[in-house]
Structure 1
Amino acid sequence: MFPRVTLLYRLLAVCVSVTIIMILLQSVDDRINHKPLTYLPAYVKHSMREIDSYGDQGIGNYSNATAQVTSLTTMHPPVNPHNFNFVVNPTTFCSSTRPEYVVYVHSAPKNHKKRQMVRQTWGAKSVCNKYNMRVVFIMGLVSDQKVMNTVKLESNTYGDLVIEDFDDSYRNLTYKAIAGLKWVSKYCSDVKYVIKSDDDILIDMHALMDQLNSTEVKSYGTRNVIMCNQWLRMKVIRDKSSKWYISKEEFPDDFFPPYCSGSVFIMTSDVVQRMYWASLQTKFFWVDDFYITGLLVKRIGIEHKRLNENYMLNARAAMEKFNGDVKHELRFFHVRKLVDVYKMWNTLEKNQNTSCSDCYTWTPPKFVNSTS
Structure 2
Amino acid sequence: MAIKNIWHSFLQETRSYTHQIKKPFILLLLALTLLFLLFSIAYTTEFSLDTVMYPQNWLTKVMNQTHNKVIDSIWANHNQKHILVPLPNQQIQRRGTTVYYHVAHPSNYQYILDEPDKCKQIPFLVLMVPVAPNQVEARNAIRSTWGNESTVQGKAVITLFLVGLTGGSESEKTQQQLEEESRQHRDLLQSNFVDTYFNLTIKTMVIMDWLATRCPQANFSMKVDSDMYLNMDNLMTLLLAPNTPRQNYITGMVMWNRPVIRDKNSKWYVSEELYPEPNYPTYLLGMGYVFSNDLPEKIVEASKVIKPFNIEDAYVGACLKHLDIAPSSPPDPSQFRAYLGQYIREDFFRVITTILGSPQQLIDIWKDVKRPT
Does TM, scored on the shorter chain, surpass 0.5?
A: yes
Aligned-residue offset at 1:193: 0.8
What letter is aligned with 1:195?
Answer: M
Q: Which has the higher helix share?
A: 1
What letter is aligned with 2:128?
Answer: Y
What letter is aligned with 2:324?
Answer: G
Q: Is the 8 A contact 1:312 1:318 kept in 2?
A: no
Residue 209 (str. 1) matches residue 230 (str. 2): no
What letter is aligned with 2:190?
Answer: I
From 106, 115, 123, the equivalent of 2:139 is: 115
Give the 3-state SS of the residue equivalent to 1:304 in structure 2. coil
Distance 2:226 2:173 in 1: 21
Residue 295 (str. 1) matches residue 318 (str. 2): yes
Where structure 1 has 5 or more consecutive residues not aligned to the other structure, the ranges are: 1-77, 354-372
The aligned counterpart of 2:213 is 186
- Going from structure 1 to structure 2, the CA distance change for 1:281 and 1:240 (only over 3 Å counts) comes to closer
Aligned-residue offset at 1:342: 1.4
Aligned-residue offset at 1:339: 2.2
RMSD: 2.2
The aligned counterpart of 1:105 is 129
Distance 1:277 1:338 in 2: 35
What letter is aligned with 2:206?
Answer: A
The aligned counterpart of 1:236 is 260
The aligned counterpart of 1:89 is 114
More off after superposition, 125-134 vs 171-180: 125-134
Give the 3-state SS of the residue equivalent to 2:286 in structure 1. strand
Aligned-residue offset at 1:138: 1.1
What letter is aligned with 1:91?
Answer: P
- Going from structure 1 to structure 2, the CA distance change for 1:86 and 1:129 (only over 3 Å counts) comes to farther
Residue 147 (str. 1) matches residue 174 (str. 2): yes
From 328, 334, 337, the equivalent of 1:312 is: 337
Give the 3-state SS of the residue equivalent to 2:328 in structure 1. strand
The aligned counterpart of 1:282 is 306
Distance 1:130 1:121 in 2: 18
Aligned-residue offset at 1:213: 1.6
From 165, 181, 198, the equivalent of 1:171 is: 198
Aligned-residue offset at 1:323: 3.3
Aligned-residue offset at 1:152: 1.1
What letter is aligned with 1:305?
Answer: S
The aligned counterpart of 1:31 is none
Distance 2:129 2:244 in 1: 24
Give the 3-state SS of the residue equivalent to 1:256 in structure 2. coil
- Going from structure 1 to structure 2, the CA distance change for 1:282 and 1:253 (only over 3 Å counts) comes to closer
Question: Which deviations, in whole Å up to 9, do the C-alpha atoms of 1:314-346 show, x marking residues without a partner?
Answer: 3xx4453x53629x4311010012222112212
What letter is aligned with 2:239?
Answer: L
Give the 3-state SS of the residue equivalent to 1:236 in structure 2. coil
Larger RCO, structures 1/2 (Cα 8 Å, 6+ apart): 1
Distance 1:189 1:244 in 2: 32
What letter is aligned with 1:310?
Answer: Q
Aligned-residue offset at 1:281: 2.4
The aligned counterpart of 1:364 is none
What letter is aligned with 2:335?
Answer: N
Distance 2:155 2:122 in 1: 12
**TM-score normalized with structure 2 length:** 0.67
Q: Is the 8 A contact 1:204 1:348 kept in 2?
A: no
Q: Is the 8 A contact 2:230 2:353 kept in 1?
A: yes
Aligned length: 266
Report matched runs for 1:208-357 at 5 Å: 208-214=235-241, 218-292=242-316, 294-307=317-330, 308-314=333-339, 317-320=340-343, 322-323=344-345, 325=347, 328-350=349-371
Q: Is the 8 A contact 1:319 1:344 kept in 2?
A: no
What letter is aligned with 1:304?
Answer: P
Give the 3-state SS of the residue equivalent to 1:105 in structure 2. strand
The aligned counterpart of 1:17 is none
Distance 2:279 2:149 in 1: 42
Aligned-residue offset at 1:180: 0.4
Distance 1:285 1:232 in 2: 18
Give the 3-state SS of the residue equivalent to 1:235 in structure 2. coil
Give the 3-state SS of the residue equivalent to 2:294 in structure 1. helix
Give the 3-state SS of the residue equivalent to 1:104 in structure 2. strand
Q: Is the 8 A contact 2:251 2:328 kept in 1?
A: yes
What letter is aligned with 1:85?
Answer: Q
Question: Which deviations, in whole Å up to 9, do the C-alpha atoms of 1:178-226 show, x marking residues without a partner?
Answer: 1101111111111111111111111011221122222xxx224311111
Distance 1:204 1:79 in 2: 31
The aligned counterpart of 1:157 is 184
Distance 1:157 1:202 in 2: 24
Distance 2:368 2:150 in 1: 17
- Going from structure 1 to structure 2, the CA distance change for 1:231 and 1:180 (only over 3 Å counts) comes to same
